[in-house]
Amino acid sequence: MNPVLEPLFRTVRATHPKADLRVIERAYDVAAYHHRDQKRKSGDPYITHPLAVATILAELGTDDETLCAALLHDTVEDTAYSLDELRADFGDTIGSLVDGVTKLDKVKFGDAAQAETVRKMVVAMSRDIRVLIIKLADRLHNMRTMRYLPEHKRHQKSRETLEIFAPLAHRLGMNTIKWELEDLAFAMLYPKRYDEIARMVSERAPRRDLFLQEVIEKVSGDLREARIRAVVKGRPKHYYSVYQKMIARDVAFDDIYDLVGIRVLVDTVRDCYAALGTIHARWNPVPGRFKDYIAMPKFNMYQSLHTTVIGPEGKPVELQIRTHSMHHRAEYGVAAHWKYKEEVGVAGAGGKVKPGNDMAWLRQLLDWQKETADPGEFLESLRFDLSVSEVYVFTPKGQVIALPEGATPVDFAYAVHTEVGHRCIGARVNGRLVPLESRLGNGDTVEIFTSKSPDAGPSRDWLKFVKSGRARNKIRQWFSKERRETAIEAGKEAIGRAMRKQGLPLQRLMSGEALLALARDLRYSDVSALYAAVGEGHIAAQAVVQKLVASIGGVDSAEEDIAETSLPTRLRGRPRGGGGAGVVVAGDADVWVRLSKCCTPVPGDDIVGFVTRGHGVSVHRSDCTNVQQLKSQPDRLVEVSWSPGDDSVFLVAIQVEALDRPRLLSDVTRTLSDQHVNILSASVTTSRDRVAISKFTFEMGDPKHLGHVLKAVRNIQGVFDVYRVSGAGG
């Protein structure tokens, strides 16, 4: 046996004892032979990548066919080895798996290429889910070795990972893969935010571990007394999930991090409910936080009991209670599927999953990809569907339908059937009539009323409130087929209105040639398609008019001089001269000098002077954006040099980026005051992703002091970046 394969085979024997090791070794030999002259960006032999992917899959317990396909997954794309040869050597099953994983290399149009790849993956995995599992393992190893790629590639791949691959892993219940993908991509995209959360976690770890240990001991003791065999342990915290909760729940780091997570693993489903009763007997449960995913499994086969109780010291404790096999499925998802095939039977008291339901989402995805002609729109629907939580509602006959959170009766109607959606005119939820835009909640029973009229169809207003990609696609499709003429007229009218509003020459701009050229630029087949796009709201009429105007040379507009935004520094003694500003003008020491506010220069910066009309000389940093325009008047540029005196005062602008939390601003301003700087202005904005960006402008006597100020601010909890900016406004 090849010694290189020994670690892989050790894992395979442990997780899948019946696997055929000879065929795996043959697949390795073929892959190693064909990749023999190739190297990875890291300089390692290329074969290390397929071997690492196979090892990840072996740890998940996948079968030998999947492992062979993993070893061979890049041969068809990157070497002379053809798919036909591979099929002849290893059979149709492994051939189909490799073909499914092979990326589309013919289409390379940014997002469209990515959407096509995802779409091909979906089609292939609908026939065999193992294609996607190989793809996820391939992406995981690539993310682990991403540091060798150029920065723009790293960012692109990491964003793809967060938007498509991690959510797909979640959909397939493969949580171990999902968490690692998320943390690797988070560290790559936002290294400073990642490091700050890691720092905050490590600072609190000892105190939290003591509390965790106390809770584990009490739960274990109670379960022993109740004669329930159980393994009780803490749940690992993943940095990206901590950050996501800060954004989603809009709470500070401490509130999330102090929330202790415990996992209780027992032998049987009966024990799960017994353990829950035992825990609730000790601590009061938090109302509304109990979820029974054993009786009603999640879309990805996930089963568990979730509860939150008020634990010791009045702190909340989250608990997940599940059997060992449920735990294995929760960690490895569909990758664990064939290991537990014998368990999967009819849903019932045993808490088992119906084979038909476990992958319903994949079939839904396959439906979409048939319906949606535009790859970009398909990708958008996929991203949207992957990023939202779900609600579970019932049909009148008791069938469970999963919908995105915030879904409405219209989403439900389209989930039942396209025609039911198109003809929907009303809904009854839990026996009461409700408006079509009302939100559905978990456990609602929904009944849809449909119209018998042959002209019945959806309303355009529905697009404002539907939440599911399927409903949105179906409504748009209906309008594009049935209402194209109306849309063309509406678009034409909207463009004409936008032109009249601006007083533009309608005849000249609406000429066939100009519009046809613009339609082609915007990738529409003809002018009618452009009008229809405007009428259906895909593109704004105003945007079309602006592009038309630009295409014929733009509207004449008067050029304005650059407004000099300069701030005179404090001047003592003489009203003129450069002493207070700490700058001397070559050839004339008695000229009034002021430091420009647009770039706030300080000693050490390269500077240039500009003679202003009636306001002396304004001094800019050489790299200031305004200097490029000032150079068009070289006769007004003068040579200046630094000559700071004891009374010189300089303006400095800094930007502070931090994970938002209460009292952040007061901590930063107190630290700046402790550093003896005089704050002149401050502004704070908080983005949707819980990042607070603060800008401060302050006076300083000695610019060398700036390094100490920045260091002091950097040490504030939550601050992940602080730097000087080239202007008070950033």
SS3 564: coil
Contact between residue 134 and residue 73 where contact means Cβ atoms under 8 Å apart:
yes
Residue 524 gets which letter from DSSP? -
Q: State the Cα–Cα distance between residues 381 and 378, nearest whole angstrom.
A: 5
Contact between residue 271 and residue 259 where contact means Cβ atoms under 8 Å apart:
no
What are the start-end ranges of the H helices in 502-643?
Answer: 506-509, 512-521, 527-535, 541-551, 625-630
CA atoms within 13 A on the CB side of 673: 7
Alpha-carbon distance values, 491 to 117, 374, 503 (Å): 33, 21, 18
Number of H helices, E strands in the chain: 30, 20
Contact between residue 72 and residue 63 where contact means Cβ atoms under 8 Å apart:
no
HEC profile of 12-29: HHHHCCCCCHHHHHHHHH
Q: Is 160 a catalytic residue?
A: no
* Structure token pair of residue 364: 């839904």
What are the start-end ranges of the H helices in 5-91?
Answer: 6-15, 21-34, 48-60, 64-72, 75-78, 83-90
Q: State the Cα–Cα distance between residues 594 and 495, nearest whole angstrom.
A: 49
SS3 580: coil
Contact between residue 659 and residue 600 where contact means Cβ atoms under 8 Å apart:
no
Residue holding tokens 């959360």? 197
Beta carbons within 10 angstroms of residue 490's beta carbon: 18
Residue 104 gets which letter from DSSP? P
The rounded radius of gyration (Å) of the Cα atoms in the chain is 32
Catalytic residue among 78, 318, 390, 699: 78
User: For residue 106, which phi and psi values (nearest 5 degrees)?
Assistant: -80, -30
Residue 39 gets which letter from DSSP? B
Q: Which residues contact 429 (CB under 8 A, 6 or more apart)?
A: 409, 438, 440, 444, 445, 446, 447
CA atoms within 13 A on the CB side of 108: 2
Contact between residue 164 and residue 382 where contact means Cβ atoms under 8 Å apart:
yes
Which H helix or E strand runs over 362? Answer: helix 360-371
Q: State the Cα–Cα distance between residues 713 and 729, nearest whole angstrom.
A: 19
Q: Is 78 a catalytic residue?
A: yes
Q: Which residues contact 393 (CB under 8 A, 6 or more apart)?
A: 400, 401, 403, 407, 412, 440, 441, 442, 443, 444, 445, 446
SS3 556: coil
Residue holding tokens 């894992």? 11
Q: State the Cα–Cα distance between residues 702 and 696, nearest whole angstrom.
A: 17
The CA-based angle 580-586-589, given to 5 degrees, is: 45
Q: State the Cα–Cα distance between residues 145 and 247, nearest whole angstrom.
A: 28
Contact between residue 474 and residue 421 where contact means Cβ atoms under 8 Å apart:
yes
Amino acid at 118: V
Beta carbons within 10 angstroms of residue 538's beta carbon: 16
Catalytic residue among 20, 63, 77, 267: 77
* Structure token pair of residue 165: 């691959």
Bridge partners (DSSP) listed for residue 323: 266
Q: Tell me the catalytic residues.
A: 77-78
